[in-house]
Amino acid sequence: MSNLPVPRPFLKWAGGKTQLADALLVRMPLVFNVYHEPFVGSGALFFRLYREQRIRHAVLSDLNAELIDTYLAIRDRVTEVIKLLSEFPHDREFYYAVREKDPWQLSLPERAARMIYLNKTGYNGLYRVNRQGKFNVPFGRYKSPKYLDQENLLAVSQALQDVDILCTPFETVLERVVPGDWVYFDPPYVPLSQTANFTSYHANGFGLSDQERLRDVCIELSKKKVYIMLSNSDTETIRSLYSLSYFTIDEVLANRAINCDGTKRGKITELVITNYPVERAVQLRLLEQRAPFLC
Ligand SMILES: C[S@@+](CC[C@H](N)C(=O)[O-])C[C@H]1O[C@@H](n2cnc3c(N)ncnc32)[C@H](O)[C@@H]1O
């Protein structure tokens, strides 16, 4: 038996799903084969499912190549990543020197260590790139940020051992699924207002035509008898895109930044969309939590 702790997300990521994980978990399909997460980000739901031992096999993917390389380095070369991070000082000058480095001139473990270090010591733990795709977050105001969490990195590495990790656009999931698989989509959200900035995950952004393509992928997956679950903002755009007989739209409460500079937080509703009836899955899960011997 391993003494490692339960693995947790190793990066802070805009739109991270840690606080929605309970609401998502009760809405998962009762039975499924392979788990696919095509907008993995920090992988909050994946780590939660792993912890609950709900996954037999998983395929995690994202379009952000540095992010995916960080997953690969942790899966395959975690000791090197840990060694590098243990040699990094927490220091403004060092931060800017690391930020200046071209990640594509570094080795895989160096690229991953740079990503983790910048994410944990940069301002607000943001991942933000400019139009040229260059990471441009300033040095953060943390006293002693924990950029080397050795135990968690080892636990994450173990959790990723049998996982397929791919850098690929979301629609390629259509090529990998078989009936009975489950796909969870957590795309960049449609903004609640015109001023809310929602496209800064990746230099290319994610506009209305991407949301429409994603809806079409969900229809194709439904025809292939694949379970889908998708989260997005509670907006007219999303409600109307998914107002088709394939889908069930469910509201959940989330604690989110409610103004555009992120300083004011409050409860707002978000949408969880599935192509299977959630009520029954939720009822059975609640029953399972209260009286596991009944299931
Ligand atoms: C809302 S975040 C996912 C957050 C994640 N669920 C978590 O818990 O951290 C959206 C992710 O979609 C990725 N992304 C943006 N456009 C994409 C595309 N066309 N195909 C695949 N991934 C994309 C971004 O790199 C980002 O990591």
CATH architecture of 71-156: Orthogonal Bundle (1.10)
Residues in the chain: 295
| Centroid of ligand 1 to alpha carbon of 89 (angstroms) | 30
Pairing of strands 265-274, 248-257: antiparallel
Tell me how far apart the alpha carbons of residues 243 and 193 are, in angstroms, rounded to a whole number: 21
* Domain 18-63+168-188+212-294 CATH (choose: 3.40.190.10, 3.40.50.150, 3.40.710.10, 3.40.50.300): 3.40.50.150
Pairing of strands 248-257, 164-167: unpaired
pLDDT value of position 257 = 62
pLDDT value of position 192 = 83
| Centroid of ligand 1 to alpha carbon of 111 (angstroms) | 19
pLDDT value of position 203 = 40
Domain ranges in the chain?
A: 18-63+168-188+212-294, 71-156
pLDDT value of position 205 = 78
Ligand 1, atom 11: closest residue by C-alpha = 39
Instruction: Give, for all 295 residues of the chain, the pLDDT tens digit.
Output: 578 899 999 999 988 888 899 999 999 998 999 999 999 999 999 999 999 999 999 999 999 999 999 999 999 999 999 999 999 999 999 999 999 999 999 999 999 999 999 999 999 888 888 888 889 999 999 999 999 999 999 999 999 999 999 999 999 999 999 999 999 999 999 988 755 554 444 444 799 999 999 999 999 999 999 999 999 999 999 999 999 999 999 999 887 665 555 556 678 899 999 999 877 667 666 666 665 544 3
The total of other beta-carbon atoms located within 10 Å of residue 4's CB is: 15
HEC letters along 78-110:
HHHHHHHHHCCCCCHHHHHHHHHCCHHHCCHHH
| Centroid of ligand 1 to alpha carbon of 95 (angstroms) | 25
Backbone phi, psi, residue 248, to 5°: -110, 130
Ligand 1, atom 12: closest residue by C-alpha = 39
| Centroid of ligand 1 to alpha carbon of 261 (angstroms) | 21
Lining ligand 1 with CB less than 6 A are 13, 15-17, 38-39, 41-44, 62-64, 169-170, 186-188, 201-202, 206
